Chain A
Amino acid sequence: MLEGLKGFIDLFADPQLFFATTVVALVLIVWKREAFSSTRWGWGLMIFLTVFFAFGLTDSDFNLIITKPDNVPIVGLIFLLVFFTWFSMRQAVDNDRRAAGGQPPIEKDEEDRVWTWPDLVYTELISMVVCTVVLIVWSIGLEAPIEQPANNANTPNPSKAPWYFLGLQEMLVYFDPGLAGVVLPSLIIVGLMAIPYIDKNPKGNGYYTFNERRVEITIFLFGFVVLWSSLIVLGTFLRGPNWNFFGPFEYWDIHKLEALTNVDLSEYVWVRGFGMALPDHWFVREIFGILLTIGYVAVLPVLLARKGLTKYYEKLGPTRYYVTVILFLSMLSLPVKMLTRWAFNLKYVVAIPEFFFNI
């Protein structure tokens, strides 16, 4: 019975189902936010997580992963992230209800001023004391990890980046290092910095709301919670030796084999489609992938401006519209690449090893 449950969870944690689950969860959170933001759901989620991790501690394999000192903060992150997602939605829903009843947001009612001394400085003082106590207790209770002395000749398996970069390391499964390690992270930074300039919606400034900023909040939650955070969780807890997938209750067997032959698009088209050898010149060989990529980043935004996103094109103007859509499509390139990998074992759309250019 217990083993069956663990087996079921292992099965369910597989990257495809894991990712699908987080996407479905986000859709439900946004769609059923009225129900989601109830006190019952808040408690329910916290209790569920607590029970899940408490149950996990009883399993020797799971225990090994979550009690690894550097992984403890990520367990904390999971609780905090779930809580604050729930909490921010709750306040947004509260304010939206007020708005529906013709009332201003709750923050408007709290607009009158209070004295910084004592109201703010005491809050700050208490926060500092609480933080210090938490940090000291945490530091006494959990030793910082120190492993064997550095040895360039002995590569641990798996070799993992620091936990906050594991989302990026997970992207390496789907993208070339140039994209996963350099281009896409740079685009994340640029995209974050662009947010205030491409978001022209004047509403929802300085208070929680969902109805007045549906698209912005949904995209942000998708990027932050689903892509960034859940991939960190996946990379930390569910990736073992050789970056193979392991369920939380699974033994990290170094000999686990995952027979996977990933195929480039060029091979799909020329070898399997036309039944001929790959052309010698890289440009001819990759022409379909190149066209597809240009279509995705250059033609698709134009088409969407005419049909589908015309409303946004008119509202934002050409510059803001193109910046927004291209950034958004870059973000979506990860799930798109994931899906094509899972569905067709597609390795690269464009593969030009001649000069390290792979997409």
Chain B
Amino acid sequence: MADTKTIEPKAPALVRAWDWITETQIWTSIFRHAAPINDRNRVLVMLSNVFLHMHPVRLRKSGVRLRYTWCMGGISFFLFLVLTFTGLLLMFYYRPTLEYAYSDIVGLREHVPLGIMREMHRWGAHAMVITVWLHMFRVFMTGSYKPPREFNWNIGVIMLVLTLLLSFTGYLLPWDQLAIWAITVGSNMARATPFLGHEGPGASLMALGDVQLVHAADDARFALLGGTFVGEGALLRFYVLHCVALPLVIGFLMAIHFWRVRKDGGISGPL
């Protein structure tokens, strides 16, 4: 009897191409394991991927429910990333000097392709302030600041302040009437800082004999603005704070925040 030859049906071309790609040395050097379609690989993908490794391998069912988390912390983080990206693009076009600041902003709309980057940056920033508040609202309403998460709530409060400061410093950069007067109103408060503002309670006590140590040209407001009014010094200071200093600090604190979420037992739930 002649040998019967079984002919395997050929897989579709796309599947074969995919198989071929995922077996190349290049692919396997990047992805160390197969797609996360079975439990073993679902573990491996979390452990071996740098972007995913901030997650646990498994988590409470309530932790993935929008009903419980409102997704506000995640959205805040995502908006931060969007703001970093769009902000970076804006930095290519924007020069923080009295001469150019305003016209660069106008130019962003008038002759830069894909001219919605400033809009995305501005609306994203407003949205982030709101989502951070709502995230804290959710954390409060679920009592998630309670032990063992007290310290992480504190990191969160500092990041709230930094979010507001980031938004506040960015508000000045377009250098239009809206910007400088909002910052003028806001920074005028610093005049009245106790002891350190020249119109603050106790400032007159800060004197050596007849020499006033705290006056308009060296008080808390001066330190903030680099001048006695919102001018060139303030623009540069706010620019550096907005683009470098504050994002670095908040990024650092975010790392701690996410780390602590994991270390304090993952997303909160009933004990």
Q: Quick check: B123 and A196 within 8 Å, CB to CB?
A: no
Which residue of chain B has the shortest Cβ distance to A178 in the bound complex?
B192
Mark each residue of chain B from 83 to 114: 1 if its CB lies under 8 Å from any CB of chain A, else 0.
00000000000000000001001100100000
Closest beta carbon of chain B to A145's beta carbon, Å? 6
Q: Quick check: B143 and A205 within 8 Å, CB to CB?
A: yes
Which residue of chain A has the shortest Cβ distance to B175 in the bound complex?
A150
Which residue of chain A has the shortest Cβ distance to B41 in the bound complex?
A117
Q: Quick check: B182 and A116 within 8 Å, CB to CB?
A: no
Which residue of chain B has the shortest Cβ distance to A116 in the bound complex?
B55
Which residue of chain B has the shortest Cβ distance to A168 in the bound complex?
B189
Q: Quick check: B192 and A182 within 8 Å, CB to CB?
A: yes
Q: Quick check: A182 and B147 within 8 Å, CB to CB?
A: no
Looking at chain B's contact residues, the main secondary structure is helix
List CB contacts (< 8 Å) of A175-218 with chain B. Answer: 176-178, 180-183, 189, 192-193, 195-197, 199, 201-209, 213, 217
List CB contacts (< 8 Å) of A49-98 with chain B. Answer: 70, 73, 76-77, 80-81, 84, 87-88, 91-92
Q: Quick check: A76 and B130 within 8 Å, CB to CB?
A: yes
Closest beta carbon of chain A to B214's beta carbon, Å? 11
Cβ-neighbour of A113 out of B60, B145, B146 (below 8 A): B60
Q: Quick check: A117 and B177 within 8 Å, CB to CB?
A: no
With A150-B177, A181-B190, A196-B153 as given contacts, are A355 and B204 in contact (CB-CB < 8 Å)?
A: yes
Stretch at the interface among A133-141, A272-280, A285-293, A314-322: A133-141
Q: Quick check: A205 and B134 within 8 Å, CB to CB?
A: no
B251 at the interface (CB under 8 A from A): no
List CB contacts (< 8 Å) of B156-215 with chain A. Answer: 157, 160-161, 164, 167-168, 171, 174-182, 184-186, 188-194, 197, 199-205
List CB contacts (< 8 Å) of A121-146 with chain B. Answer: 121, 123-124, 127-128, 131-132, 135-136, 138-140, 142-146
Q: Quick check: A205 and B271 within 8 Å, CB to CB?
A: yes
Q: Quick check: B141 and A217 within 8 Å, CB to CB?
A: yes
Interface magnitude class on chain A: 35 or more
Cβ-neighbour of A73 out of B68, B126, B181 (below 8 A): B126
Q: Quick check: A135 and B127 within 8 Å, CB to CB?
A: yes
With A159-B181, A204-B143 as given contacts, are A116 and B153 in contact (CB-CB < 8 Å)?
A: no
Mark each residue of chain A from 344 to 358: 1 if its CB lies under 8 Å from any CB of chain B, else 0.
000000000011111
Stretch at the interface among A6-14, A102-110, A251-259, A304-312: A102-110
- Write out the residue numbers on chain A whose beta carbons fall within 8 Å of the beta carbon of B145: 195-196, 199
Closest beta carbon of chain A to B251's beta carbon, Å? 19
Which residue of chain B has the shortest Cβ distance to A113 in the bound complex?
B58
A31 at the interface (CB under 8 A from B): no
Q: Quick check: A356 and B200 within 8 Å, CB to CB?
A: yes
Q: Quick check: A115 and B58 within 8 Å, CB to CB?
A: yes
Size of interface on B: residues with Cβ below 8 Å to A: 100
- Write out the residue numbers on chain B whose beta carbons fall within 8 Å of the beta carbon of A110: 60-62, 65, 269
- Alpha-carbon distance A197/B154, docked complex (angstroms): 10
- Alpha-carbon distance A37/B196, docked complex (angstroms): 48
- Alpha-carbon distance A222/B157, docked complex (angstroms): 18
Stretch at the interface among B10-18, B24-32, B69-77: B69-77
Output the residue of B120, B123, B203, B204 with the most chain A CB within 10 A. Answer: B123
- Write out the residue numbers on chain B whose beta carbons fall within 8 Å of the beta carbon of A119: 64
Q: Quick check: B190 and A182 within 8 Å, CB to CB?
A: yes
Q: Quick check: B202 and A107 within 8 Å, CB to CB?
A: no
Closest beta carbon of chain B to A207's beta carbon, Å? 5
A147 at the interface (CB under 8 A from B): yes
Q: Quick check: A356 and B201 within 8 Å, CB to CB?
A: yes
Cβ-neighbour of B270 out of A108, A114, A217 (below 8 A): A108
Q: Quick check: B190 and A88 within 8 Å, CB to CB?
A: no
Mark each residue of chain B from 41 to 55: 1 if its CB lies under 8 Å from any CB of chain A, else 0.
010011000001001
Q: Quick check: B42 and A123 within 8 Å, CB to CB?
A: no
Cβ-neighbour of A127 out of B62, B71, B197 (below 8 A): B71
With A88-B138, A195-B153, A206-B271 as given contacts, are A70 and B61 in contact (CB-CB < 8 Å)?
A: no
The 5 closest A-B pairs by CB, nearest first: A181-B189, A196-B150, A139-B119, A177-B192, A178-B192
Interface residues of B (CB under 8 A from A): 36, 39, 42, 45-46, 52, 55-68, 70-71, 74-75, 78-79, 82, 102, 105-106, 109, 116, 118-124, 126-127, 129-130, 133-134, 137-138, 140-147, 149-150, 153-154, 157, 160-161, 164, 167-168, 171, 174-182, 184-186, 188-194, 197, 199-205, 229-231, 268-271
- Interchain residue pairs with CB less than 8 A apart (19): A87-B70, A104-B270, A110-B65, A113-B59, A119-B64, A124-B74, A139-B116, A146-B109, A149-B176, A154-B177, A164-B167, A165-B168, A169-B185, A181-B192, A204-B142, A206-B269, A206-B270, A208-B68, A355-B201
